[in-house]
Structures are given as C-alpha cells and as structure tokens.
Amino acid sequence: MTPHPHPAPQPCFGMGSGSQVRDMAEAHQAVGFRPSLTSDGAEVELSAPVLQEIYLSGLRSWKRHLSRFWNDFLTGVFPASPLSWLFLFSAIQLAWFLQLDPSLGLMEKIKELLPDWGGQHHRLRGILAAALFASCLWGALIFTLHVALRLLLSYHGWLLEPHGAMSSPTKTWLALVRIFSGRRLMLFSYQRSLPRQPVPSVQDTVRKYLESVRPVLSHEDFDWTAALAKEFLRLQASLLQWHLRLKSWWASNYVSDWWEEFVYLRSRNSLMVNSNYYMMDFLYVTPTPVQAARAGNAVHALLLYRHRLDRQEILPTLLMGMRPLCSAQYEKIFNTTRIPGVQKDHIRHLGDSRHVAVFHRGRFFRVGTHSRSGLLPPRALEQQFQRILDDPSPACPHEEHLAALTAAPRDLWAQVRRSLKTQAEDALEAVEGAAFFVSLDSEPQGLTREDPAASLDAYAHALLAGRGHDRWFDKSFTLIVFSNGKLGLNVEHSWADCPISGHMWEFTLATECFQLGYSADGHCKGHPDPSLPKPQRLHWDLPEKVHLSISLALRGAKTLSGDIDCHVFPFSHFGKSFIKRCHLSSDSFIQMALQLAHFRDRGQFCLTYESTMTRLFLEGRTETVRSCTKEACSFVNAMEDKGKTDPQCLALLRLAVDKHQALLKAAMSGQGVDRHLFALYIVSQFLHLQSPFLDQVHSEQWQLATSQIPVQQIHLFDVHNHPDYVSSGGGFGPVDDHGYGVSYIFMGDNTITFHISSKKSSTKTDSHRLGQHIEDALLDMASLFQEGKRLKQGCRGLGEDSGYRCGSLPCHSRGSRAPTTSTNF
C-alpha cells in the first residue's frame, strides 16, 4: 500500500504487540445470524441436497482457480519465472550440443512421436523435443516447489512460541520458506501454496465451547447445555462432521463461502449500522480545508492503489514478517456492488471502471477518472469536484432521498430496484458500475477545539450512518469528504474484512498527504484542465410507486440512525509501549480491560465476541475469540475485591492474558470454535436435521463485540516525528439491542483510540459510561505495575484540577492539543 515500490513484503507484526490482523463489523452479522429465517420470520427452505451444495461449492472454487490462471501467469507461474524455463531450455540445448543427453533418452522418444516433416526439418524436431522436455521438467519442478512450500506453510509451531523467542526448528523453517518463496514476489504469489483451513475435531470444538460458556451460565443452565452437547456428539456430530471433511477436500475452504452467503448475503436487515462499518481520517490534522482538493487527491490516491492492485505490485502481507496471508479478498475492493435480492443478495464485480459516482446536495453525478493519456491528475479531479460543488441546479423530487433505499431492508430494496432498472437504467448503472462512490457532504466534521468530545462522536456517527440518504451503502465503499476537508470511509462488509479496506486506507492517507501533497493555498498541485468535459448529471425517471418506498426507507433510516449512540475517545496516558514493558500482549491487555469495564458497567459477565483472522489459510476470513474466560473472570473478581493485593491481581492478570493468547493462536491456526459450529449448523439445515445443541449455540446473545483495527504499514507514517499523522481507526454499530460494539487502534506507542457504539433506546447501555469505565479500568490495571502507579497518580491529579474526565480530549497528552490544518508537505 505504499506509494513507492515495496522494499519487502508487508509484515503485520503482532502476536506479542497485539497488532493482530482483525476484523470489525462482522461481529454484528455473525451475532445476528439466522440462516433459516427471512426478515419477517418466514421459513426459507434450504432444499438443495447437501452433497449437491458441496459439489457446487467446490465447482465455484475451481472456477476461481481458473480465473486466477492469468494472475499466475503474470507472477511467472510462482515460484518459478518464465526466464527459468528459458534457462532450462538453453541448458538442455547446450548439453545436446555437447553430445550429452540429460533426458536419459526421453527426448529421442519425444522426437519419434512428433510428425515427420522431412529431412530438412530434422533439427526443428530436435528443438521441439527439447522444448517439450524442458516444459515437462519445468512443470514438475514447479509442482514440487508448490507442494514443498504448502507443506512448509502448514507448520504452525512458530505461532505457539513465546514472543521474541524463536526455536531452532522455527529458524530452519523460516529459512526454507524464504528459499522456496523465490525473489520476485507479487500480491497473489502465495495463493496456490497456501494450505487449506483444517476441520477441527468435533469433540475438541464441543469441549472448548462448553469451557467458554461456563463463566456466564448458572450451574443448572450449564448442566443442561452439557447434556445437549453430549446428545449431539452421540447422535448427529459424526454425520455432520463427515460432510464438512468432504467439503474441505473438495472446496478451497470448508466455511468461507457459506459464511459470506448466510451471514451476509442472506441477511435481510439494513446494511446501514447493522453491517457496514466506518474508517476515520487523521485525528488531529487536516491536510487541507479545501473540500474539492482533498477529494481530488484522495480519489487519485485510491485509483493509484487500484492500479498497483491490478498489476499485483502490492506485496503479500506477512504475519510477524514470516508467514504470508491469503490475498484473495483484495480482488473485489474496487468496481464492486452488492446487488439486493428478495431472498439473497449477490456481489457484482466488474473488471474495470473508469468513473466514480458522486453525490452532493441530493444530486448524482458521473465523473470520469481517466483521459486518453491515463489517470487524471489530482488537480484535474479537484476541478471536476469543484464544478459539482459550484453547480446551483436543485435536486429533482425524491432524487435527494433516493439513496435511502440502500439503507432499507434488503427485500424492499430488491423490489424497488426492479422498477429503477427499467425506468432509470442508465443512472443506476452509472452508480453501480462506478469504481466507488463519493459523497461530498455539505457539513463540516472532525475534532473541534470548542467541543472535542462531542465533535468526535458526531464525526463517527456521520461516517457510520450519515443522514441515511447520502451514502450508497451497496457500494464496496463510499469515500466521504466533508466541507472542511475531513475524510472518511463507509465500507460494505460482505466482499472482504476490515484489514483489506484498512490496508487501502493507509495507502490513501499516506499517498494523498505525503506524496501528492498540496500547494500553499491548499489546492492540489498542478494545473487545471479546462478542456475536460463537465461532470455528467444523472437523471432518475422515478415512477410514482417508488416515491412511497423512498419515503418509507428514509423514515426507517432516520429511526435507525437516530438510535445509535457513538462515542470516540483517544486514551493517551499510555499505549502499547508501556504494555510491552510490562511483558504482556497489548491486545490481551485491552481485552482484559474491556472485561473489567463491562463488569463495572453491567455488574455481570457476558459472552464476548472478539474477531481475529484465519487468512493463514486459502480463502480464510475470520474466527471468534471468546474473550470472557474463567481466567478473565477470576482477574476481574480479584480487581473488585478490596481484600486482594496488587501482586495477587497481577498474577491473575498474567494467567488471563496467557489464556487469551492461547485462544487467539488456536483461532488463527484453524482450531477455533465458532466457525466450525456454524458450518455444522449449516449442514444440519441442509439435511433438515434438528439439533437442540446447535440451535442453542446459535441463539446465544453476545452483548459485547470487540475488535482491534490493525496498523499494517507503519513504515508509511513517521509516528516519531509526526505522531498526529496516523489514522484514528474506525468502528461499527452495536451488535445487540442491549449490547456494545467496541473497536480500538494503537496509534503509535502512546495512544489507544476507542470507538464505542450502543443503542439509545436501551436502558442498559450508555457508550459514554462504558468509555469512562474503560479509562478507569486501564488506569487501575496499569497501577498493578510500579510505573503504572505513577501514571495513575499523575492522571488523577490532572483530572481533578482540569475538571475534565481523565484521558479525555481537552487534556490529551497532558495538554490541550487543538486540531490543526496543515498544507506544508
């Protein structure tokens, strides 16, 4: 994601630092998963025989493999290159010239099988025989390298080792991986060598599940659940497990395609808040206050990223700098739209698109992004966006609120879209066929000096929901540019998970700010192009029957948007550097703080959903870490027990962190609980096999959904000299009507930004109250360490004197740092 050639594959450091590759909003979809129900509760028959479904799943996998053949060709049939074939052919010819036969007689047999074209073509037959032999030998070598690399990548011993320690077997393994990987890496270089996600033992999964629910169930409820589990293992588990193993052998991944279909595409709920998530701009700086200029640079940077993506110049991500992750999800970042269906949506992806769709003050425009000479420069794009901002024409009736349909329940939007398809096909195609959607907002957003806390909360709400009618929620992502130059993304979730869009967003922020830059007056560098045609205004011929649907959709979107309570705050009293000095995983430390904070907020423990990735495997997506463990509960109870000493609490904290790390590593290595149980449940639905145990599993309430947002390309940002130029992360809507959604990002070494959401209609939740509990929990946990005691004492004194909450924005970094606008790059 760099604007310059990568010096090395992008490492995602983190098992010890806590920067694991995570996902965000998929927690909401997973928790709300009901595969056999439509939005109105009517049963949907999964009538396809399970073997047929497994066959079709494998068929889709093989089609994807064939479609990637061109990518394999571009990468040089990784891990070999076409030059290696030429070298091998030349060596064989040289040996033949020296009257040596490296084929041990095989080339003579090949010559005999070739047609006889006469004596004058005898030498041509020899060359063809050598070429065929070289090709066969070359293919055999490539296949051997693929198999060897796949076997090497199946090793997970490195994942289980303590952070900072590397055993001799792991060092040997790493050296072999680097040898077999070759030198010329591209984005999809490792795809054919990644192992498939294993199907865990059903007995292990059930055991881990029972262990995870023990802290949140009464003795009676736990005994009842254990009895259901025992009955499941005795009666149904073996049959369901057999079908999953069959699918794992035939398809690329035994769970990911079903996860995409049943958790996302079959969901009938509104995408707004329920599925889509947001990503923020820099927190403390805005590179330019000129809205059109910021849009011009950002769009140009995004299209540069697409260009690099098309040419596979983005290098594969390496976990901890060692292990490649699956890159399949990158394919649908651009030119992608989720098309609504009555029972099931589908993802439409185009090979290319040379325009973006733009929304401003209720009007839609088509803006071309390329000329005959290539991608338009930033200044030309700024000119086009400024033309839209200066256009005085009003919105047509109902056009202003048309996009509210994309926030409506999916079956309603699917029915209305049929009318639009016939009445306004060109305009609809211009939006759905765009590279992405751009919303030029007429209001400013972002951190303000006058009311920093409220302004950040409003900024998050604007990115997550807007006004309900100014985002096209079906597009893979919407770039939002506010009137004061602040940026943000609203991202549709079904096509990929948060680390993919996060990778793109990091590149965009770094490129538009540091590489493209702005002139002294805040405009894009370069000169306008008066010869460019004006942006094309899209006209919607909306039939009368659509008007009522738009009004209903807008009313529903406003109700849903108005019920969301967003709270964003940077905690700057310490960050991951302090946690590292305590010899703890930063992610696990935050998870324990969230357990403590939630217990103080609600007075009880609850099932906690933490998302992690399974991209160590081919086409892997996510897995759940159940963070509310017995060890975590023991630690929380000790912290609330005044009779416990700091050393006792610290010992329990280390046990809880170690347990969390063990669960995290198991989930990443394909030995998690929830995706396996999900796939078993889907098979049971196809077989029409009732399982009280699986029904119980998928009726659970997750009142706390959490996720860490990874910083994947720290080399793009100078966090030491320019700590303000780091993305402040993003967030997602609340998972449960009476629960919280919490995401967090480590900004540099000394700041952690939290994004909290809940519903205002719930009397049990309050995002600001939980935020206060999180800050208090972090400081209380830090005080278990000698260095942390000084932090807490200093913070308490500052909070009392200033009248502001400890760690809140006015006293950020022990002083009041105001947002700034900077254009000097």
What amino acid positions are annotated as catalytic residues?
493
Those residues with Cβ within 8 angstroms of residue 279's Cβ, 6 or more apart along the chain or in another chain: 463, 488, 489, 491, 501, 502, 505, 727, 729, 730
CA distance linking residue 807 with residue 779, whole number of Å: 10
Contact 709, 742 (CB under 8 A): no
The CA-based angle 199-256-267, given to 5 degrees, is 130
Cα dist. 759→564, 732, 741, 742 in Å? 5, 12, 10, 13
Contact 348, 476 (CB under 8 A): no
152 SS3 class = helix
Those residues with Cβ within 8 angstroms of residue 3's Cβ, 6 or more apart along the chain or in another chain: 301, 304, 507, 510, 511, 514, 515
HSE at residue 634, side-chain half, CA atoms within 13 A, is: 15
SS3 content of the chain, % helix, strand, coil (to 5): 50, 15, 40
Q: In whole angstroms, what separates CA 99 from the centre of its chain?
A: 58
- Which residue shows structure tokens 């805040």? 522
Residue 488 DSSP class: E
Q: What is the DSSP string of 95-139?
A: HHHTT--TTTTHHHHHHHHS----GGGHHHHHHHHHHHHHHHHHH
Q: Position 254: which residue type?
A: Y
- Kind of pairing, strands 323-324 and 317-319? antiparallel
- Kind of pairing, strands 477-481 and 437-440? parallel
- Which residue shows structure tokens 């994807």? 64
**E-strand stretches of 447-549:** 477-481, 487-491, 536-537
Q: How many distinct helices (H) and strands (E) make up the chain?
A: 26, 23
Q: How many CB atoms lie within 10 A of CB 52?
A: 11
Contact 276, 468 (CB under 8 A): no
CA distance linking residue 473 with residue 339, whole number of Å: 11
Contact 301, 516 (CB under 8 A): yes
Q: In whole angstroms, what separates CA 217 from the centre of its chain?
A: 32
Cα dist. 733→561, 594, 730 in Å? 10, 17, 11
- Kind of pairing, strands 346-349 and 336-339? antiparallel
Which token pair is 333? 């970042």
- Which residue shows structure tokens 């939980």? 770
CA distance linking residue 635 with residue 640, whole number of Å: 9
Contact 595, 636 (CB under 8 A): yes
Q: In whole angstroms, what separates CA 785 from the centre of its chain?
A: 34
Contact 775, 571 (CB under 8 A): yes
| Torsional sign, CA 272, 278, 281, 284 | positive
The strand pairing partners of 537, in sequence order, are: 365
Which token pair is 297? 């640079």
CA distance linking residue 428 with residue 364, whole number of Å: 10
Q: How many CB atoms lie within 10 A of CB 269?
A: 17
Those residues with Cβ within 8 angstroms of residue 695's Cβ, 6 or more apart along the chain or in another chain: none
CA distance linking residue 127 with residue 440, whole number of Å: 63
